[in-house]
Structure 1
Amino acid sequence: MEQLTRVDRAEDPHFAVRTALGVGLAITLGQVLNVSVPMLPAALALSLLSGQRGKFRIVRAVVPLAFPVLAWLFSYLAALTVSDPLLFLSLFLLLSFAGLYLMVYRGSPGGVLLIVFPALFSMTAIASDQVLVAMRDSMAMSGPTCVVVIVLVNMVFPTPSDRLHIPEPEPHQSSEVLLDLILRTGIFALVLIYCYGSADTNLIILPIIVAFVLGQSTHHMRRQEAIARISATVIGGTLALVILLCYRVMPQLPMLIGALVLATLFFTAKMFDGERSAVTYQFAGSVTIVIVMSSFASRDAIEIIAQRIALSTGAAVLAISLLALLEAIFLAPRQAMAASPD
């Protein structure tokens, strides 16, 4: 897939303010609409707005309208097949295979949706019917909410540039496409089976991290992705802890929303010329939002942060190590034979 690039300050000077305002508006609307999974609207708004480059296009803004359709589709498939473990696992592994193909060999962001959405709904289906319904309804409400947010903030803070950003993905080239995808899907299958066996929705981050790492073409890109995800988790978790400590002193929702807006403003401003990659700052902002919004439950903030860091690190290292090992055992000999002269 196309890597998230830095933002050109001259082209889009309002980028950071627009994104931060969008996150604040998404959090507010999520609270008004009483979304069961409160971090979803804000996290999705951050992801979509921080990925905006060049001139605003309404076509990109309406993409989240597909979220309710996907949420109902995958929740229905999960509920329909969860009582048949073999069919359930086969179906969602097939979707993962297709998603990895789109990510790696077509460079399509649609592959992310085809992996993340099934993983979310299959894990919540195993947890309980109530959790599945809550995730489905939250995602269904988050999609239209994001459309409203994206359109509004782009009206208030429009991009002055007329340049249309055309994605330039770099599809992976391999002489062993099927084998490569089988190896990647096999690693993802191990993670999914472990998550299914635990029936713990707190592990949802595991398949997501693994999918983003496995979706990178080369070992170098996978290593960069892993480093970005791990460092972002540490940075975002640290800032989330500071915000939650302030919230304990002043337990007011407007203060919490204001703190998350400022945190988003900080991270998105770093996407102009920060020391780290743009994806690091994007993911750090997402981690901060998820951890802070998760604190409304009964779990301790330090526990959430520690678990998030451990899961992100473990998932990234597992994906890189296993794929490198399997490539060395199965792919490298075949590629060497194909490259050698007859």
Structure 2
Amino acid sequence: MYVTPRPVAAEDPHYGIRLGLTGALAYGAIPLLNPALPPIIAALPVGLVAAQRKAFDPGKLIGGVIAMIVLPWLMTWVVEWLRPMPLVYVTAVWALYFAGFLMILRSGAQAGMLIVVVTVLISVMGMHGTATVETLRDGFLQAALVTLVIGPLVYLVLPARTRDRHVDAPVPGGGRAVTGAAIRATVLLALSFWLYAVMQPSDMMMAVVASMVLVFPTRRTVFSEALQRIRATVYGGAVALGILALFTLSPHLPILLGLVFLGGLWLGQRMLFGAQPSMVYQYAFSVTLALVAGALSTQDPGYATFTRIVLTLTGAFAAAFAVAVLDGLTQWRGGAAGMAGAAGTGDTA
């Protein structure tokens, strides 16, 4: 699975400022749109903008926006069509998981990750009913349109120093990819039922944190990513609690936007210079935004943060352990040779 490398300060010295500004502008859109699921509006623009490296790439941003509009609409149609037939519905969800993981393991392409993420969110939300899944679909549409406005704006205000655009270099996983994809699809299907049982619809953006550990091809990287997701949840929860604590002293929108900006600035600078892999800090900011948005809408912030950390810990490690056991039993990667084929999937400076 291809991981976007660490941004380079010499190429993009304003990366941290841009990340904080993106988060603040996304939050500023929430009272204007009054969405049913504010965490999506808060987190999706940051995820798509933060994935940019070097100079602004409008094609990549527009492609991500289109994917976040089209895939939820298609998945909503599948859910509404198949939900009255539970066995067919579960089989179709497994098949979509399998297709996404197979794409990841065979090519390393991030398009497979988008298929997996959208299928997780829409299928689990679909278990709550048709109205709920349509709400999520509309939330993705709103968040994608917000991203289409914010993305070019923040790069216009704070352009990168280099004019070169980053080119992804995905690495195929190797081995018997069909077996690996089947293992991950089965474990994620079980994880989906667990997410449905323990998470509320407003928490579903956090489901990505637990499920994304499965997109990596080896036992070592699966456990490494599980630890990174948990670390990101802890970091993001700490920043969110700090923002909420200060916001309660002066509960005004400009104060909130300023605090979100500062939180994004700090985590963005850590992406440039921090000791942890840069994706830890990027995920942490998404966690922060989702936690603050959820806490300000319906939830107690302390309980919400604690719950998300526990759920992420439980889901991520249970899924990672299950994948590691099944990978060991099947040896689908072909031993040491297969391990070598996954080199280069980690974060790079």
TM-score when normalising by structure 2: 0.90
Structure 1: gaps (5+ residues): none
Q: CA deviation at 1:62?
A: 1.0
The match for 1:135 is 136
| Paired amino acid for 1:201 | P
Q: Deviations over 1:219-249 (max 9, x none)?
A: 2222221111111111111121121122222
- Shift of the 166–276 alpha-carbon distance from structure 1 to 2, 3 Å rule, reads same
The match for 2:345 is none
Q: CA deviation at 1:208?
A: 2.3
The match for 1:328 is 328
| Cα distance in 2, alignment partners of residues 273 and 148 from structure 1 | 28
| Cα distance in 2, alignment partners of residues 206 and 320 from structure 1 | 17
Instruction: Verify the 8 A CA contact 2:104 2:112 in the aligned structure 1.
Output: yes
| Cα distance in 2, alignment partners of residues 12 and 305 from structure 1 | 32
- Using the aligned pairs only, state the percent identity: 27
The match for 1:104 is 105
For the pair 1:122 / 2:87, whether they are aligned, the reply is no
| Cα distance in 1, alignment partners of residues 120 and 246 from structure 2 | 34
The match for 2:240 is 240
Q: CA deviation at 1:203?
A: 6.1
Q: Deviations over 1:23-61 (max 9, x none)?
A: 211221232122221121231121122221122121012
The match for 2:81 is 80
Quick one: higher RCO (CA 8 Å, sep 6+), 1 or 2? 2
The match for 2:38 is 38
Q: Whose Rg is larger?
A: 1
Q: Deviations over 1:246-277 (max 9, x none)?
A: 22221212211211111001000111111111
| Cα distance in 1, alignment partners of residues 20 and 28 from structure 2 | 13
Q: Deviations over 1:290-324 (max 9, x none)?
A: 10000123321111111111111112211221111
| Cα distance in 1, alignment partners of residues 222 and 122 from structure 2 | 26
| Paired amino acid for 2:86 | P
Q: CA deviation at 1:286?
A: 0.8
Instruction: Verify the 8 A CA contact 2:291 2:305 in the aligned structure 1.
Output: yes
- The DSSP-based 3-state class of the residue aligned with 1:244 is helix
Say what the alpha-carbon RMSD is for the aligned residues: 2.1
The match for 2:71 is 70
Matches for 1:246-265 after TM superposition, within 5 Å? 246-265=246-265
Instruction: Verify the 8 A CA contact 1:191 1:207 in the aligned structure 2.
Output: no
Instruction: Verify the 8 A CA contact 1:206 1:315 in the aligned structure 2.
Output: no
Instruction: Verify the 8 A CA contact 1:205 1:311 in the aligned structure 2.
Output: no
The match for 1:269 is 269
For the pair 1:172 / 2:173, whether they are aligned, the reply is yes
Aligned residues: 336
Q: CA deviation at 1:126?
A: 1.6
For the pair 1:231 / 2:231, whether they are aligned, the reply is yes
Structure 2: gaps (5+ residues): 339-349
| Paired amino acid for 2:226 | A
Instruction: Verify the 8 A CA contact 1:120 1:204 in the aligned structure 2.
Output: yes
| Paired amino acid for 2:158 | F
Q: CA deviation at 1:197?
A: 5.3
TM-score when normalising by structure 1: 0.92
For the pair 1:160 / 2:154, whether they are aligned, the reply is no
Q: CA deviation at 1:201?
A: 2.9
- Shift of the 197–299 alpha-carbon distance from structure 1 to 2, 3 Å rule, reads closer
